[in-house]
Structures are given as structure tokens and as C-alpha cells.
Amino acid sequence: MRFPAVPALILACLTLAGCASSSGPESVLSPRPSGEITSSVVRPSAPVPATAVGPAAARPATTPTEPQEALAWAGPAPDPEAFAPMEREAGMPIPMERPVAFIAPENPAIGAVPRTRSRVYSHRFRDAKPINFGKRSPHSLAVHGVDVSRWQGEIDWEKLRTQGANFAYIKATDGGDHLDPMFKKNWRRAQAAGLKRGAYHFFYWCRTAGEQADWFIRNVPREADALPPVIDVEWNGESSCKRRPSPARVREKMQVFMDKLERHYGQRPIIYTAPDFYSDNLEGAFPRHPYWLRSVAAHPSKVYPGRKWLFWQYSGSGLSHGVDGRIDLNVFHGSEEEWQNFVAARSI
């Protein structure tokens, strides 16, 4: 029986032909999609980056959970790979975490970060009434400065700085109701010119100490780089207040004033005084307070024996470029290095 084998052979051939036709002949003959598909959509010449820049771009791409707005394409959708997120830099990259260089060590060495040191200018002042102080001349000390008030008028602080004014004490207040009209301008401009500056108060013996402290605090800003505040105590024959309290009362009023300022500014006030007032009231007093001493005819050691001092006012007849008329000249009691340490201790 040979005939039954023929239908079986024909059936097998038809089966094989059907399997081959499932992919079509183009799958074997054509290595790329048809021209109809590629010509209907213009592909981007370069991949389009993800819109997120910075920290968001650093995260791995994920399938959006919110519905996305459909794009209006002219034809079939383009190849989705053209829109896959890619990493790139846009300007300076924004790190996900702080750079290692910004992280302080657990046990930093003291002084590892240098403080900014202000330049110290050598003094170039002149004096209308020069004094020969001998071997202990103020000119042998490194850091000079000035003190000013309304009577100096408009000051060219930049020029005064280069003449040797490394610091300035600026008149702020006196009594309980007077503000020097040049204080605010001098305060701003001295700082802008690079001087270290502080404010002083002329103490009035006919007002309470608390009122005067409140008035000073109201008008003098509390700033980290300011020098300690100063209480100026002296007898003033030109003042309308002729009262001269007893030494005990003088020291009591001073203590109230200084304590209030120290609590507010966080720095112990400096006491400025003159020879006659000192001999009447302050010999041996306030040993823990720094002193600023007026002594224009001799070294402070001769006028204030045994008294340690921080500043010395050595002239009331100074002359300098940047100021019309005369100006008070002062010097810091220490080396340039000691001055830098003194200033740094008062800065945050």
C-alpha cells in the first residue's frame, strides 16, 4: 500500500511552509526596519537629557508613578531609548553630600585654620608739640591709633589708616542723653577703612550710672569685632556739672556702669583717665580692669606708678593726613604679635 504515504508527505511539507511564513521573508532579507518607519519620524540628533539637574539627576531612573502628558508627535512614537536619562554636568555639579574637604576632623589641631591678620601700618604722625620721652618713647611701640569725636569733623579714614591709625576709639555718648553727631558715620567708615574700633562714653557725674549705661547701650551696637567699650572718667571744668563725688562714690558709680556694659557686650570695659582724676580716685582701684592712661609729658610709669596699662594717650596735638586740625594719638602696650592676639580674642 504506497498511496497513504503520499498524503502524509504532502501534509508535512505544508506544515513546514506554514512555520517559515510566520516571520515573513523580510526578516531574513532586510537587516533594518523599512524606510516607511524611519522616514515618518525625525529622530533627535543626540539623546535628550533628563530634566533634573543636580541631586535629582544622581538618582537612578525609575518608572514614573504619575501619568505623563502625551507628546504630539507626527507619526509613530520614536524609539524610547532616545529619551533614556543620561548623566551630564551643567556648570558646577551639585554634590549629594558635603565634600570630604569640608568636613572638620574629629580632633582638629589648635591653630590649624589661620586667623585673618590685619595689616599694621607704621605711624607717620607728626606732633604740633613734640615731647622727648627718652628711651621709653611711644615710637618704640608697634601699634598706634587715634581717638576722635565731632571736633575732628569729616575724616578721610582710608588716608588716616595708612598714616598709622591701626585702631580708633570713637566718641559715642556722654551723660544720659547726648550722642556725638559724628558717631554713627565714624563708626561705619572706620570699619570700612580696616581700623579696629571701639566706642567711649564720657561719664557725667550729675546723672545716675544706670541711666548712662542704658544710653550707651542704646546707641552703640554690639559687634563681635569691636574693641572693648571705654568709660572716660575725668574732672571737666567746662562741664555744667560741677559735682565732685567722694572717691568711694565715684568708684561705686563706675562699678554700676561697667558691670552693666560688661553684661551686655561680653567684654570688660576699659577705664580711660587723666592724672588728676586718677590721683584723687583711682590709685589701687579696679585692678582687674584694663586702663587707658593720658600722659602727654612723661612716660605712664612716672605719672601712674605701679599701674599696668593697655593704651597710652601720648599726645593731644597730633597732626595727620586725613584729618583737619589736631588729633589725639595713642599706642598699644605690646608687640605687633600681642596686638594680633588681642584683636583675635575679640572676634568670633
Q: Where are the domains of the chain?
A: 144-344
- pLDDT for the residue 74: 37
180-186-191 Cα angle (round to 5): 145
Q: Is 0.85 topped by the overall pTM?
A: no
- Tens digits of residue pLDDT in 67-113: 443 333 333 444 444 334 444 333 333 333 333 333 333 333 333 33
User: What is the second-level CATH architecture of the domain 144-344?
Assistant: Alpha-Beta Barrel (3.20)
- Check if 252 is active-site: no
Considering 2-16, 39-53, 304-318, the range whose residues carry the highest mean pLDDT is 304-318
Residue 111, SS3?
A: coil
Q: Region of 153 please: left (phi>0), alpha (psi -120 to 50) or beta.
A: left
As a whole number of angstroms, the distance between CA 287 and CA 124 comes to: 33
Whether residue 22 is predicted with pLDDT greater than 50 in this model: the reply is: no
Q: Is 66 a catalytic residue?
A: no
Q: Measured between alpha carbons, how far is residue 277 from residues 100, 125, 135, 142, 192 in Å?
A: 60, 28, 27, 28, 35
234 in Cβ contact with 270 (< 8 Å)? no
Phi, psi of 179, rounded to the nearest 5 degrees: -115, 130
C-alpha cell at 225: 569685632
Average pLDDT for 5-25: 44
Q: At what angle do helices 247-265 and 209-219 cross, to 10 degrees?
A: 30
293 versus 1: the higher-pLDDT residue is 293
Q: Considering the candidates 158, 214, 234, 259, report the single residue annotated as catalytic.
A: 234
How deeply is 6 buried, as exposed, middle or buried, from its count of CB atoms within 10 A (0-12, 13-18, 19+)?
A: exposed
* Cell numbers representing residue 3 in the block: 498511496
Over 50: is that where the pLDDT of 298 sits?
Answer: yes
Residues 57, 54: Cα–Cα separation, whole Å: 5
**Beta-strand relationship, 327-332 and 311-319:** antiparallel
Predicted local distance difference test score (pLDDT) of residue 291: 98
Number of Cβ within 10 Å of residue 17's Cβ equals: 9
Q: At 82, phi and psi to the nearest 5?
A: -65, -15
Residue type, 300: P
Burial track 235-252 (b if 16+ CB lie within 10 A, e otherwise): ebeeeeeeeeeeeeebbe
